[in-house]
Amino acid sequence: MSYSAIPKTYAAAFADASSSPEEAEQELDSIVGIFRVEPLFRNFFDTPAVKREEKEAVLIKIFQGKISELTLNFLHVLLRRGRFSFLSEIHDALKEELDRKAGRVRAKVRSYPLLSETELSKLREVLKERFKSEFILEVKEDPSLIGGFVVRFQDLAIDGSMKNQLRKVRQTLLDSKLPVGVVYEN
């Protein structure tokens, strides 16, 4: 099994075992969020010097009663099988799996200036019409674009940025051959 297949396999198994995959995804989202903001907590689980039993005891102490038994058992399975380091990737794969089943697509939108709610709604509608899927847009402001926006999802990119347009104009000018000795006057 390749490493890229591990998160997908565990995510699919977790989704299939759950009676409410969306709630399970929210629980994993919270847990992954804790690991992101608390690096010491993450390091504790990543350190091979800490015994698995100690890690399991910490999981029980922190999460029992706060997350479902299924999610807690899933975390124990990841620990026992040495796959806990894939938790973030499993979470991402679970989101992708649930989105695929629901006909949703997550897209990252970078824009400058930040798009308004009206503009985002229009963009969402255009994408829905063109690609026949519901879109969840993750928006981020990026001043390096100079203006406009870039949308990325799956293996596609839609680049409507001023930076890209200027790059195309520059390339067109570089590619055009001017005759030697031609002088332009105003």
Q: What is the pLDDT of residue 1?
A: 47
Which ranges of the chain have pLDDT less than 70?
Answer: 1-3, 178-186
Q: What is the pLDDT of residue 100?
A: 86
Q: What is the pLDDT of residue 176?
A: 83
* DSSP output for the chain: --TTHHHHHHHHHHHHH-S-HHHHHHHHHHHHHHHHH-HHHHHHHH-TTS-HHHHHHHHHHHHBTTB-HHHHHHHHHHHHTT-GGGHHHHHHHHHHHHHHHHTEEEEEEEEESPPPHHHHHHHHHHHHHHHSSEEEEEEEE-GGG-SEEEEEETTEEEE--HHHHHHHHHHHHHHSPPPTT-----
Query: What does pTM read for this prediction?
Result: 0.70
